[in-house]
Chain A
Amino acid sequence: MSEKTALPVGQEAIQDKGWWLAHKFLILRRITQAGFLGLFLLGPWFGIWWVKGNLAGSLTLDILPLTDPLVLLQGMFAQHWPETTAIIGALIVGVAYALIGGRVYCSWVCPINPVTDAAHWLHDKLGFAKGWQPKRGTRYWVLGMVFAASALTGTIAWEFVNPVSMLHRGLIFGMGFAWTFVLAVFLFDLVVSRRGWCGHLCPVGAFYGLLGTGSVLRVSAVKRADCDDCMDCFAVCPEMHVITPALRGAEGDTPLILSSDCANCGRCIDVCAPDVFKFTTRFDDTPAPARAVRRKPKRQPEASRAA
């Protein structure tokens, strides 16, 4: 810990780099999220049918089929073998996310991400406690249950409750009462569990995380030796446990953030004043000296007593 820990998150980065550069990836992400949604809305709103369908399945420019591999897999568990179009679509999506990081879906595409980010922003403003934090593996159990339920009921089970597709499909085809699911996720993240939905429970995120286990695009703490312990990256990261092994690794440990939980959102790059992090590939072996061993500041017994 350093004195800078107490400063508001990102303040030094804003001072050093300016507001725009200190929010570069956040802004890019919001533009991308809005852009993907906008592509789907061009048809129903303006009659420009470049993209038809929704995130579960779509057809772009009447030639490119895309299918959500998780939805298709559930269908297979429910013993339906899909037509080739859907399989090709799922392979394209699967390969793309396997290369750029499965959870890029979560941070750059998923329409629920702005909802849970807003919940976290408000959670922070209101100074709530972090609340219930399910174990890291919980989302994989949820994913397993989703497949089991699909097999048992012979249906694509998660789609009956999935807030991600409820919101996306709702915006494009008509919402009905699907907003209640979105509100439930917002309130869950706000009141019950800080970053609980995307970070701990959502089986879609779990699936895409597994898909991107070997992804090529990765964030690396190449200049970790420059870290001044301001802790801002940990504060903005929705999956903060992924940073530690890279940033705090010993000499010889890889500076790459290799955890499949990392959503490649790039916020750690934004808020870091000394520019410790950058996007690179998993094959990047630029030497990254570890941080100098630091000692905890010695405390005077009298001082601690006085405190």
Chain B
Amino acid sequence: MAITKLATDARALPVQAIRPPGALPEEDFLAACIRCGLCVRDCPYDTLVLAELGLEGPATGTPFFTARNIPCEMCDDIPCVKACPTGALDHGLTNIDDADMGLAVLIDEEHCLNALGLRCDVCYRVCPVIDKAITLERRHNERSGHHAIFMPVVHSDHCTGCGKCEKSCVLPFESAIKVLPVRVAQAKAAEHYKLGWEDRNPLVDELIDLPDRLPGPGTDNLVAPGGYLPSGVEGLPDPSMDGGFAPSYGLPGTGGAGQ
């Protein structure tokens, strides 16, 4: 059905279109947003706009902003969320610092002035969550050999995606740092990954059970591959015997399996 197709297409949200603070995940948002524009009306900085059919933007009539044009000013009272009658903007968001509109990414290190070893620092200075969402990390400048690079680094747990860094990047036209939707900007570690320097017990017990390396029948300990045979008996050990085990590879000098 045509409507179904359109609805599915509409989920292909352009990456430059950032949803307002508190917006539900995109698939829930399209079930909740009635496109009334009340968030747009209550935005004091005219940041938010409703998407228009056929123009750059998300599903027609839904609210978004383009950080490079007008970023979110992160109002303390979050008027856009309060204005939303349906909860498409989650009323549970009461502290704007908890907003998760997107994630800033230093996308062009080749042109970022700080990455080139200069001191621009503008994205860092304008960040409303300065020193938490963006920090400057000192690195050695390999090019000059005796200078430092103050690299802007974004931290996802504090970045709200307001886009002030993208707006203020001094480069002409495109910004070197851009706010992207979290679903685009962020990868996820596999569930069983553990960082050994954060977790003293790096093994995941439920997933991996390493064999107990004890010698004797019923183990793959190479001290006695294939298990032992009672003394005086010729031939291979019976694999079906309790704990019996015959490796599929042959081992030289044992006269055993695989030959």
Residues of A bordering B, CB below 8 Å: 43, 49, 52-54, 56-59, 65, 67-68, 71-72, 75, 78-83, 85-86, 89, 145-146, 149-150, 152-161, 165-166, 169-170, 172-178, 180-181
Contact = CB atoms under 8 A, between A and B. Distances in A.
Interface in B52-75: 52-55, 59-61
B60 A146 contact: no
Nearest to B1: A149
B61 A52 contact: no
Given A86-B86, A177-B52, A49 B30 contact: no
* Top-9 shortest CB links A-B: A176-B52, A57-B36, A177-B54, A78-B31, A153-B7, A155-B30, A80-B31, A83-B87, A86-B85
14 contacts: A43-B41, A52-B38, A52-B42, A53-B37, A54-B37, A59-B38, A83-B86, A89-B85, A154-B30, A159-B35, A159-B61, A169-B37, A173-B52, A176-B60
A53 B33 contact: no
A229 to B, nearest CB: 44
B30 A56 contact: no
Contacts of A52: 37-38, 41-42
Contacts of A175: 52-53
Nearest to A76: B31
B44 to A, nearest CB: 13
Given A82-B32, A85-B85, A149-B3, 19 more contacts: A53-B37, A53-B38, A57-B34, A57-B36, A75-B31, A80-B32, A83-B87, A86-B85, A149-B4, A154-B31, A157-B3, A157-B4, A159-B60, A160-B60, A165-B35, A166-B53, A166-B61, A178-B52, A178-B53
Given A57-B34, A169-B61, A75 B86 contact: yes
Interface in B21-53: 27-28, 30-38, 40-42, 49-53
A45 B71 CA distance: 24
Nearest to A175: B52
B241 interface: no
B1 A145 contact: yes
B136 interface: no
B207 interface: no
B79 to A, nearest CB: 12
B4 A173 contact: no
A156 B41 CA distance: 22
B199 to A, nearest CB: 37
A166 B42 CA distance: 21
Contacts of A65: 85
A165 B60 CA distance: 10
Contacts of B35: 54, 56, 156, 159, 165, 169
Contact of A172 (B4, B10, B28, B37): B37
A173 B83 contact: no
